[in-house]
Amino acid sequence: MQPTNHRPEEDPPASQRLPPGKALALPGGLAIGLLALGLLTRDPLLARPILGAAGVLVLWTAALYVMARRSGRTLGVEIVMRRPHYVQACVLVVIYFYWGWHLPAVRLFAPMLLVQLMFAYGLHSLLTWSRRDNYELGLGPVPITFSMNFFLLFKPEWFYWQFVMVALAFLAKEFIRWKRDGRSVHIFNPSAFTLAVFSLVLILTGTTDRTLGVELATTLFNPPHIYAVIFLVSLTGQLLFGVATMTISAILTTYAFGLVYFAATGTYYFLDAYIPIALFLGMHLLFTDPATSPRSESGRILFGVMYGLGVIGTYALLSAGGAPGFYDKLLPVPLMNLLVRVIDRAAASGRLKLLDVSKLGERLTAPRRRVATVGLWVVLFTAISGAGGLGDDHPGQYLPFWQEACQAGSARACDYVPRMLGNFCEKDSGWACNELGIHLVQRESDRLGALAAIRRGCELGFPMACENVYRMTTGPGTLGSEPPLIGDLPIVLRGSKGAIRERDPNKLYALACERGWPDTCGVRSVEP
């Protein structure tokens, strides 16, 4: 979330008045820093957008300096460390470092995050001074910039769009506003609005491959106990800002739907989890901005339910349209932001009294009610995790679950099995290539594709695949299947947590047994 200043902008705090030359040293220095980084960057694909962003700051700074000197303006600067900003900045930084600690590739993008943050501070100060005399220098740009990078990041050759995203977030916050409780406030959560706009453009233009959105959504799950880490580091914000009711209602709505869906279909709605990790992060840090959410507890409960249902419905639409499912958590938030005044009015008129839980703790002070709500969330998180609804291990991650569901007659599972086998085949599992070919032949969907897959399996050294190539090219013989070789196990046993580092044969067989692979329990390697 990006909690924002609740003080009226018409009544800014006292600030130090500076001549334009001194005040504009801030964006000017950031522009020079970006220029230096752009010139030092060895990758020309990254150097060009960084230099372009620096050029924008240089030109804007120069223009503002000239206009301020001509009009005799002085510019106000005040260092303001608002609690919502630094709490959320700390939460996001901790999650990012934990992610990067366990996934070295994430650390490679730290410089890309730095240049965006420099641009954000420069643009924010220039935008503020272009419209007002006072600029509050604090940590506000950090949560906005960091949260966008958790969900959407353009590849180096398209990285200039990342700076456009940063600019759009601050422009939306500055210009898209309405009156609420007698004050002018921004309508949309800045980062959520930007993510939704770019998501729509990427979906409609079919250009998701220009981003690392899929990779972000999947690799975020790689660190161990990542659900617990996000839960724990978010507790401070839940306590301080009273947003736990939104998170709880969103989690419970989505989890309950997942249980009902599994009972009805025998498969998992989000495939490899009841609540995917990126969605879990979004339920804590994306839609829970107090400035763009309802004021009442009943309104916040409804808001969380809406987010859960919105994600579920969006995922269905994306799947039906063949678009990547990871956009599901990004698209509903702006529409929900537009409804907060309606929700507030409904809560004030008593129409949401069935959801009003504030009376349960009306004898408690507001801080104690927040503590009680967070305590409830701790109990619920522990219970759902204990029931397998949240955590590192989930049956939907592993191939045997989907093979069994396919054999039981689930068309959805039969569509998902070849996707999993295809991924394993691309990672050089000869067994998976052979099984993919068999699956395609059995479903009479793509005989040429089946032959290509089985040939690939033969090239990778899987003996039965070579035999099946002979059978397919010489007659209509039945294709044969054999268990994976020991070299296949590290590939085909993997789930959504990422690559398996274990290479000891006996431990691999034990892991295969644990993950539901038939005829692997009790198997011991005969290798010395």
Query: Measuring CA to CA, which residue among 287, 239, 283, 279 is closest to residue 3?
Result: 287
pLDDT at position 10 is 40
With contact defined as beta carbons under 8 Å apart, do 219 and 102 qualify? no
pLDDT at position 453 is 93
pLDDT at position 388 is 92
pLDDT at position 359 is 62
Is the dihedral angle over the CA atoms 8, 11, 17, 19 positive or is it negative? Answer: positive
pLDDT in tens, 184-197: 999 999 999 999 99
Residues contacting 143, CB < 8 A, separation 6+: 1, 2, 3, 85, 88, 89, 92, 191
Give residue 21's region: left, alpha or beta (phi > 0; psi -120 to 50): alpha
Residues contacting 260, CB < 8 A, separation 6+: none
pLDDT in tens, 288-345: 988 899 988 888 999 999 999 999 999 999 999 999 999 999 999 999 999 999 998 8
Count other Cβ atoms within 10 Å, centred on residue 106: 21
Average pLDDT, rounded, for the chain: 90
Q: Specify the range with the lowest mean pLDDT, choosing from 154-158, 330-334, 351-355, 503-507.
A: 351-355
Say what percent of the chain tops pLDDT 70: 94
pLDDT at position 363 is 67
pLDDT at position 302 is 93
pLDDT at position 452 over 70: yes
pLDDT at position 5 over 60: no
Query: Measuring CA to CA, which residue among 400, 138, 367, 94 is closest to residue 231?
Result: 94
pLDDT in tens, 93-135: 999 999 999 998 898 889 999 999 999 999 999 999 999 999 9
Residue 467: in which H helix or E strand, if any? helix 463-474
Q: Specify the range with the lowest mean pLDDT, choosing from 129-143, 156-170, 324-338, 496-510.
A: 496-510
Mean pLDDT of 353-377: 76
Taking CB atoms within 8 Å and a gap of at least 24, the contacts of 277-280 are: 277/217, 277/220, 277/221, 277/226, 277/227, 277/230, 278/150, 278/151, 278/216, 278/217, 278/220, 278/221, 278/326, 278/329, 279/254, 279/311, 279/328, 279/329, 280/227, 280/230, 280/251, 280/390
pLDDT at position 8 over 50: no
pLDDT in tens, 372-428: 889 999 999 999 999 999 999 899 999 999 999 999 999 999 999 999 999 999 999
pLDDT at position 368 is 83
- Phi/psi of residue 476, nearest 5 degrees: -90, 30
Q: Compute the distance between CA of residue 140 and CA of residue 468 in angstroms, rounded to an integer.
A: 61
pLDDT at position 198 over 90: yes
pLDDT at position 427 is 93
pLDDT at position 525 over 70: no
pLDDT in tens, 469-493: 988 888 777 888 888 988 999 999 9
**How many angstroms separate the most distant Cα atoms in the chain?**
90
Q: Given pLDDT bands bounded at 50, 70 and 90, which one contains residue 528?
A: very low
Residue 473 token pair: 């090219």
Query: Measuring CA to CA, which residue among 309, 344, 343, 312 is closest to residue 328?
Result: 312
Mean pLDDT of 180-185: 87
Mean pLDDT of 425-442: 92
Sequence spans of domains, the chain? 82-111+140-386, 398-492
pLDDT in tens, 40-64: 998 899 999 999 999 999 999 999 9
pLDDT at position 4 over 60: no
Say what percent of the chain tops pLDDT 90: 68
Residue with tokens 């975020």: 220
Instruction: Give CA separation, 7 vs 10, 72, 291, 498, in Å.
Output: 9, 28, 11, 45
Count of alpha carbons within 13 angstroms of residue 274, beta-carbon side: 25
Residues contacting 182, CB < 8 A, separation 6+: none
What is this structure's pTM? 0.90
